[in-house]
Amino acid sequence: MDIPIKNLVGNLIMFLPMGIYLPYFIKRINKVSIFSIAMIILLFVIEVIQIVIRRGSFDIDDFILNMLGALIGFGLSKMKFVQKLLKYNSGDSSFADKSL
């Protein structure tokens, strides 16, 4: 029972940072529809690479969980607290005078 839970949580958490940082670094990917299309393409490429190099299999469960994790991260990236943290960590001096 421990392995399926680790697999489920691991696949969700693995792409959560992608949902936060991809829109931050690539400004064009700031809408959920554009982000979803970019993630679908990226995840499809990753799954195909796994088949080609024979280091895994094309698993739709992984695809769905990775996509869900990325969408959760995208939702988190729209929260004001996360946006303030990203702005603070980018070295924006105007933010340094304000408190979180």
Q: pLDDT (tens digit, 9 = 90+) per residue, 39-84?
A: 999 999 998 898 899 887 788 888 999 999 999 999 988 888 877 8
User: Chain-wide mean pLDDT for the chain?
Assistant: 84
- The pTM of this model reads 0.76
CA–CA gap between residue 53 and residue 46 (Å, rounded): 11
Residue 85: predicted pLDDT: 77
Residue 73: predicted pLDDT: 92
Closest CA to 19 of 36, 41, 2: 36
Name the pLDDT band for 92 (thresholds 50, 70, 90): low
